Amino acid sequence: MGNLRKSFSEARCLVIGGGGFIGINLSNALARAGAQVDAYGRRLSIRDSLISGVRWTSADFADRAKLAEAVEHADFVFHLVSSSTPSSANADPAADVMDNLVTTLHLLDICRVQSFGRLVFISSGGTVYGIPSMIPVPETAPTDPISAHGVQKLAVEKYLALYRHLYDLDYLVLRVANPYGPMQIARKSQGVVAALMMRALADEPVEIWGSGDVVRDFIHVQDVVRAILMASLHPGPSRLFNLGSGMGTSIKTVIDDIERVVGRGPLKRIHLPARAVDVPSNVLDIRRIREEVGWQPEIEWMDGLRKTMEWTMNAKENGLI
């Protein structure tokens, strides 16, 4: 394990899960910061989305030979792979463990024997805590997930700490809240802002699971990516940070605000039953990353929504989504 770099200039960065929402944004930001970036993933979710300076490798996370090759001599490995969502993982937790936890342990075994810098893992600030004992929820709060997705992410965090203890593996965990913004595509039960925006722009009714009083911590992906870059270079003692806006917004409010931003009059609302995997409220306490790393969110919510709308309209026009 080498010493931690002071900048991304010429740094060799591997972004596993580089073809997804955060992965594309992160890969591009790293390339802009001067890094040599390998974006590694099963597929690129939006074509032509990676800037020059990012090399795309289409490969499976479970392909251990390809993975070992990609990790070799990396200064930073960003692990953003998640083949599951809170809903899909619950349907088959054993498969979720096989696809995500076992493969991650293979990655850790590759990292511990190779010449290698720091491993940055994107965890789930929305699910590892379960039903928060306090709002906003600090990193020290109890972790009792109510989704298999959350248990699996938490297990990865524990194995990372273990590999540090046993092998001095340098790692960082970022428990990201609900990111939104450019490159997000609505998947089943994830990407609520993207899903609502798409429907609003298509003049389709929006779906609300439960009462709409469910509160989430939405953070613009540009803020997320800036935090990942800053925290990754940070040598400080903490290995685990919440990463969110620190503010709660209800689903109802999201819909009202999208209605305002889109400006085509009231959206039709369809009410669906509440889901057992949804915690009633989740807002992250972001004092630790603010104080230790010196990062704070910069993109204001309504402004972020406007940017998201512009990107979505553009992407639709160009047939990208």
Number of shown-chain residues binding a copy of itself (CB under 8 A): 28
CB atoms within 10 A of CB 82: 22
Whichever of 26 and 151 has its CB closer to a copy of itself, that residue is 151
List binders of a copy of itself among 158-217 (CB under 8 A).
158-159, 161-162, 165-166
63 φ/ψ angles, rounded to the nearest 5 degrees:
-80, 95
Structure tokens at 91: 């349907």
**What is the nearest approach in angstroms of a copy of itself to the Cβ of residue 168?**
11
Between 53 and 93, name the residue whose CB sits nearer to a copy of itself.
93
The region that residue 51 occupies, defined by phi over 0 for left and psi between -120 and 50 for alpha, beta otherwise, is beta
| 134 scored as a contact of a copy of itself (CB under 8 A) | no
Is residue 90 part of the contact set for a copy of itself (CB under 8 A)?
Answer: yes
Answer for which of 6, 65, 94, 317 binds a copy of itself (CB under 8 A) is 94
Query: Shortest approach of a copy of itself to residue 303 CB, angstroms?
Result: 37
Q: How far is the CB of 220 from a copy of itself (least distance, A)?
A: 31
- Which of these segments, 6-14, 103-111, 213-221, 254-262, binds a copy of itself (CB under 8 A)? 103-111
User: Nearest approach, Cβ of 17 to a copy of itself (angstroms)?
Assistant: 19
Report which of 86, 88, 45 is spatially closest to residue 184, judged by C-alpha positions: 45
Is 65 a binding residue for a copy of itself by CB under 8 A? The answer is: no
Interface stretch with a copy of itself, choices 10-18, 144-152, 171-179, 299-307 (CB under 8 A):
144-152
Decide if residue 274 touches a copy of itself (CB under 8 A): no
151 forms part of the interface with a copy of itself (CB under 8 A): yes
Site for a copy of itself in 232-271 (CB under 8 A): none
Q: How far is the CB of 53 from a copy of itself (least distance, A)?
A: 34
Q: Which of 33, 44, 62, 97 binds a copy of itself (CB under 8 A)?
A: 97
Task: Give the residue with the Cβ less far from a copy of itself, 146 or 320.
Answer: 146
* Using rule CB under 8 A, residue 135 touches a copy of itself: no
Binding region for a copy of itself (CB under 8 A) = 90, 93-94, 97-98, 101-102, 105-106, 108-109, 143-148, 151, 154-155, 158-159, 161-162, 165-166, 276-277
